[in-house]
Amino acid sequence: MSDHKIRISKNGPYIVTGSTPLQKENSVTNAIFPQRWETDSVFPQKSTYALCRCGKSSTMPYCDGAHIKNDFDGTECASREPLDSTAVVVKGPSLDLIDYEELCAGARFCDAGKGTWEYTKTSDIESHRKAAIEQACNCPAGRLVAIDKESGKPIEPDFDKSISVTYDQSIGKSGPLWVKGGIAIESSDGHVYETRNRVTLCCCGKSKNKPFCDGAHLL
């Protein structure tokens, strides 16, 4: 089997290779904020496939060439500086929280209860520590990363390499493509973005941080 990889075509779709599993996942809510992710369905496995980036395809999540008809401008404008250069660190007694704000995809798991930032600051309380970890790990974009103070290591979900087409049940809107497990993402000019366990890619065509989602689908 080939290595899993996503190649971004200029003003066109994401070309996915390596027989990468593709599924649909819904964020399940408590009527206000999302609480967990739930698999809705699994797409037939293909060795190579093209995923829509412009948001206009009639065969979503797959590309149908609509980007050509709509003269889609898919110019990649995300920073290529190391993410740690812009990270904010929130300190807590048993956890620290790394916040890469520019990666926010508006999934809102972090807003439930006291919020991930406040739970981190009071993470000596076991229930708060658990909530902070759960909320950070549910962040599909990887904006929030919980760090165990004792070991100094990030606490990350153990994901196989796959892609999820997301849907936000609380607002009834489709979300970004959730790339899991450290799949390489290559720019149309050959640049390889920083490989991470959790990444969200824009598939509505509106993000100002392409190729990454910036929550524009919520507007």
Mean pLDDT calculated for residue range 143-153: 97
Same domain, 129 and 75: no
Tell me the per-residue pLDDT of 46-93, one tens digit each, with 9 for 90 and over. Answer: 999 999 999 999 999 999 999 999 999 999 999 999 999 999 999 999
Q: Which of 105, 137, 155 is the last residue of a domain?
A: 155
Q: CA-to-CA distance for 213 and 178, rounded, in angstroms?
A: 10
Return the SS3 of 78. coil
Q: Give 8's DSSP letter.
A: E
Residue 2 has a pLDDT of 58
Residue 97: pLDDT over 60: yes
Mean pLDDT calculated for residue range 136-154: 98
Residue 113: pLDDT over 70: yes
Same domain, 212 and 105: no
Return the SS3 of 102. helix
Same domain, 11 and 73: yes
Same domain, 184 and 94: no
Same domain, 171 and 68: yes
- Tell me the pLDDT band of 171, cut-offs 50, 70 and 90: confident
Percentage, residues of the chain above pLDDT 70: 99
CA angle, 188 then 192 then 197, to 5°: 120
Mean pLDDT calculated for residue range 125-146: 98
Q: Which of 106, 124, 155 is the last residue of a domain?
A: 155
The burial of 81, by beta-carbon neighbours within 10 Å (0-12 exposed, 13-18 middle, 19 or more buried), is given as exposed
Same domain, 168 and 198: yes
Same domain, 88 and 149: yes
Q: CA-to-CA distance for 126 and 111, rounded, in angstroms?
A: 19
Residue 147: pLDDT over 80: yes
Same domain, 151 and 87: yes
Residue 31: pLDDT over 90: no
Residue with tokens 């999540």: 61
Same domain, 74 and 172: yes
Same domain, 151 and 106: yes
Q: CA-to-CA distance for 38 and 54, rounded, in angstroms?
A: 26
Question: At 8, phi and psi to the nearest 5?
Answer: -90, 120
Residue 133: pLDDT over 90: yes
Domains in the chain, number: 2
Nearest-CA neighbor of 186 among 29, 7, 1, 38? Answer: 7
Give me the chain's average pLDDT, please. Answer: 96
Same domain, 101 and 205: no
Domain that holds residue 73: 5-79+161-218
Same domain, 61 and 90: no
Q: CA-to-CA distance for 117 and 140, rounded, in angstroms?
A: 17
Residue 167 has a pLDDT of 96
Residue 1 has a pLDDT of 45
Residue with tokens 């904010």: 88
Q: Which of 109, 131, 155 is the last residue of a domain?
A: 155
**Residue 186, beta-bridge partner list:** 7, 192
